[in-house]
């Protein structure tokens, strides 16, 4: 300030930081240079999201729009007590007093005061040199990371980086000492969906602004992008990827899969080439290795070349329910939706069911739930009498949690659906017994120590006898009585579990098991996992499966299915597997009357009208089919009904039939027996 008794003028402009048209932070001047104090100035901005919770305010002094050349005066955060819609106008008014005090008041479009704050600035508003840059670096980092929920450890680390950069540059300016670069490679550990890849991309951008990296781009790779099919090719590929990543970030996801075990020569080649590339290009790129904590710890420990080159580990913890609610609100706001109070409760209930260990997708799961809710809203949309509010709000209905049906009633409905299945009398009895025991244990508070129970099962029988259908209903029932968190059915075969190289199978099988946590893992033709004593991949899959069945029996139920004789031999050759099976349930072939009933049910679902003559033909056909080795039971009945329907459609379209004639099956519609 310049002082001439009562005529005090500002020597520098004063304003606040806004987001400009180019998307970058700019200084918006409210009180221009040379203003006589006291002086006032103001403007308005607009909220960026629905129900914005707070406003961050930065008061700066200077002339240039580029805030790097302005002087920080103060920063504060004001909470918004009211729920303002997106693009709500907020007015801010600044007052600069003679004593150097700067006050700021925010009001909304209804002229209600949102909040007031003040800063003392009695000295001239001159650039603060190093302190200015240091503060600006920290502002920039804080602002860029403000959109990320949690990850406090990373935020502290990045602020330390800013402090170190400024300290080094200040020493160079004052002492002429040029420090070595501070670029250190990182290890990110955490479960899926915790923001590792997004943060890696953002670090590249921040490091570019800080002058640490020249480009700041992200090159994201995994083992499949690195390890190649013959000796020497992998090292060449690593060199190419490092060359692509120079000036930016090389992000290697699930880095522990690079080398699966000591016999993995291609993986060792990748590790050696990567270590050499990092050393040869030190300071030219940032390398980040990412993955699960346990696997990453073991990988770094057993590959000593990485130990000295990756000294900093950042942990990305799973999000809490409250943090996931914040993420959900942000995702919804990006799609111009808000979430109602009952919608928030429904989301919390939904996300709570899915928070199950390593298979849980954190922010990814929250995003999927919101996207599904928006899709549900679109499916149920009716133009009718709908207002703008209804078009932009997600309620419990959209989260499929509005039916208010108690779990006991849902369990009863699933049991009724099981009972309504055609045939399978002995199977139904077995399942009902297992469910009754499970309910008794839960109601009486019985633990595994008091009375052990094994829920893993084997379903034996020919194709089309209802094994998959019963498994699905069993999962629903166990979920509704509270024994399984989700009750979903994950159906897999050998190709889903067995990998392409030694060590890959264990990872692949474990990942499949994790995806089934809270539900049922259904392995069809389970005996195909082992193709003889020399099938090391199959042995690896079975060993991993046994471990999951034992260690996580409270998280999932494994049901293995297949032909009776083959399943018997499979279990006999794997005693460790047999000891972990609680029940073996035989699914008998359907008899003629049951198959006829199944066909009739399929016909009714397609609105077919079958005469007595047609049904007599179907019964005769069934008696012939049942004697064939490749007979598919209910599956063949469904296929027969579909074939008849297709033939009928072709006939009625050619003949131009109308009314009920379009539903009546003729003898000519029944395909010939092959």
Across the range 142-156, mean pLDDT stands at: 72
| pLDDT tens sequence across 30-53 | 888 888 888 888 888 777 666 666
Looking from the CA of 522 toward its CB, the CA atoms found within 13 Å total: 22
In this predicted structure, the answer to whether residue 265 has a pLDDT above a threshold of 50 is yes
Instruction: Provide the pLDDT confidence category of residue 242 given band limits of 50, 70 and 90.
Output: very high
In this predicted structure, the answer to whether residue 369 has a pLDDT above a threshold of 80 is yes
Q: pLDDT value at position 378?
A: 81
**Residue 299 contacts residue 259 (beta carbons within 8 Å):** yes
Closest CA relative to residue 490, chosen from 523, 447, 462: 523
In this predicted structure, the answer to whether residue 625 has a pLDDT above a threshold of 50 is yes
In this predicted structure, the answer to whether residue 642 has a pLDDT above a threshold of 80 is yes
Q: pLDDT value at position 250?
A: 94
Nearest-10 crossing angle of helices 536-551, 504-515? 40
Lowest-pLDDT range of 59-68, 360-369, 608-617: 59-68
Q: pLDDT value at position 127?
A: 34
Lowest-pLDDT range of 73-87, 286-300, 636-650: 73-87
In sequence order, which residues have a C-beta less than 8 Å from that of residue 369 and are 6 or more positions away?
328, 347, 350, 351, 354, 399
Domains of the chain: 11-120 (no CATH), 133-315 (3.40.50.300), 321-398 (1.10.8.60), 407-586 (3.40.50.300), 592-669 (1.10.8.60)
Q: pLDDT value at position 291?
A: 87
Across the range 188-207, mean pLDDT stands at: 86
Distance of alpha carbon 213 from alpha carbon 205, whole angstroms:
9
Q: What is the pTM of this model?
A: 0.46
Mean pLDDT of the chain: 81
Q: pLDDT value at position 10?
A: 78
SS (H, E, C) 316-340: ECCCCHHHHHHHHHHHHHHCCCEEC
The residue length of the chain stands at 674
Give SS3 for 142. Answer: helix
What is the percent of the chain with per-residue pLDDT over 70, rounded to a whole number?
A: 84
**Strand ranges (E), 80-137:** 89-96, 101-108, 113-120
Phi, psi of 162 (to 5 degrees): -60, -45
Distance of alpha carbon 579 from alpha carbon 354, whole angstroms:
30
SS (H, E, C) 254-275: CHHHHCCCCCCHHHHHHHHHHH
Start-to-end CA distance of the chain, whole Å, equals 101
Total Cβ atoms within 10 A of residue 78: 17
Q: pLDDT value at position 19?
A: 54
| pLDDT tens sequence across 537-569 | 888 889 999 999 988 888 899 999 999 999 998
> Which DSSP category does 590 fall into?
P
Query: What is each CA distance from 467 to 18, 387, 438, 464, in whole angstroms?
Result: 62, 48, 21, 8
């Amino acid at each position: 300030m310049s002082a001439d008794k009562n005529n005090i003028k500002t020597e520098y402009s004063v304003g606040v930081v806004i987001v400009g048209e180019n998307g970058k932070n700019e200084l918006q001047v409210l009180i221009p240079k040379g203003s006589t104090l006291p002086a006032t100035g103001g403007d308005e901005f607009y909220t960026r999201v629905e129900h914005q919770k707070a406003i961050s305010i930065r008061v700066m002094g200077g002339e240039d729009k580029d805030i790097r050349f302005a002087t920080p005066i103060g920063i504060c955060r004001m909470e918004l007590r009211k729920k303002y819609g997106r693009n709500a106008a907020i007015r801010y008014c600044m007052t600069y007093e003679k004593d150097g005090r700067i006050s700021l008041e925010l009001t909304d479009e209804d002229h209600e005061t949102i909040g007031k704050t003040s800063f003392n600035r009695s000295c001239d508003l001159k650039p603060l040199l190093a302190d200015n840059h240091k503060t600006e670096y920290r502002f920039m980092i804080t602002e860029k990371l403000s959109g990320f929920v949690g990850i406090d450890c990373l935020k502290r680390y990045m602020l330390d980086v800013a402090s170190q950069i400024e300290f080094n540059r200040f020493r160079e300016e004052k002492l002429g000492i040029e420090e070595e670069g501070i670029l250190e490679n990182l290890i990110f550990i955490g479960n899926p969906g915790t923001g590792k890849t997004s943060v890696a991309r953002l670090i590249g951008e921040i490091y570019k602004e800080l002058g640490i990296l020249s480009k700041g781009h992200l090159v994201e790779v995994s083992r499949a992008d690195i390890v190649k099919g013959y000796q020497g090719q992998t090292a060449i590929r690593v060199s190419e990827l490092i060359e692509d990543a120079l000036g930016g970030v090389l992000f290697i996801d699930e880095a522990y899969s690079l080398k699966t075990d000591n016999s993995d020569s291609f993986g060792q080649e990748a590790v050696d080439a990567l270590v050499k590339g990092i050393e040869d290009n030190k300071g030219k790129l940032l390398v980040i290795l990412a993955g699960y904590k346990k696997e990453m710890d073991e990988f770094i420990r057993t590959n000593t070349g990485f130990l000295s080159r990756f000294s900093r580990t950042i942990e990305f913890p799973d999000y809490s329910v409250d943090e996931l609610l914040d993420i959900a609100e942000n995702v919804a706001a990006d799609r111009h939706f808000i979430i109602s109070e009952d919608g928030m409760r429904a989301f919390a209930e939904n996300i709570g069911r899915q928070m199950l260990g390593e298979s849980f997708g954190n922010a990814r799961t929250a995003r999927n739930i919101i996207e599904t809710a928006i899709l549900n809203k679109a499916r149920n949309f009716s133009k009718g009498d709908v207002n703008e509010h209804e078009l932009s709000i997600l309620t419990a209905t959209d989260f499929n949690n509005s039916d208010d049906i108690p779990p006991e009633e849902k369990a009863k409905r699933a049991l009724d659906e099981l009972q309504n299945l055609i045939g399978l009398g002995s199977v139904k009895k077995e399942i009902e017994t297992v469910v009754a025991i499970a309910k008794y244990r839960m109601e009486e508070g019985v633990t595994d120590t008091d009375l052990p129970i094994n829920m893993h099962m084997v379903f034996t029988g020919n194709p089309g006898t209802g094994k998959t259908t019963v498994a699905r209903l069993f999962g629903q029932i166990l979920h509704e009585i509270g024994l399984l968190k989700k009750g979903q059915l994950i159906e897999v075969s050998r190709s889903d579990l067995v990998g392409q190289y030694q060590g890959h199978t264990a990872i692949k099988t474990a990942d499949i098991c994790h995806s089934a946590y809270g539900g049922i893992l259904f392995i069809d033709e389970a005996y195909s996992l082992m193709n003889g004593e020399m099938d090391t991949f199959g042995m690896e899959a079975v060993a991993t499966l046994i471990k999951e069945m034992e260690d996580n029996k409270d998280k999932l139920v494994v049901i293995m299915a297949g032909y009776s004789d083959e399943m018997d031999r499979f279990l006999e050759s794997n005693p460790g597997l047999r000891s972990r099976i609680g029940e073996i349930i035989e699914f008998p072939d359907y008899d003629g009357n049951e198959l006829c009933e199944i066909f009739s049910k399929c016909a009714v679902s397609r609105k077919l009208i079958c005469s007595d003559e047609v049904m007599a033909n179907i019964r005769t056909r069934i008696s012939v089919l049942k004697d064939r080795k490749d007979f598919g039971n209910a599956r063949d009945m469904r296929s027969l009904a579909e074939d008849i329907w297709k033939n009928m459609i072709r006939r009625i379209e050619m003949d131009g039939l109308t009314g009920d004639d379009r539903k009546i099956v003729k003898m000519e519609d029944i395909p010939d027996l092959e």
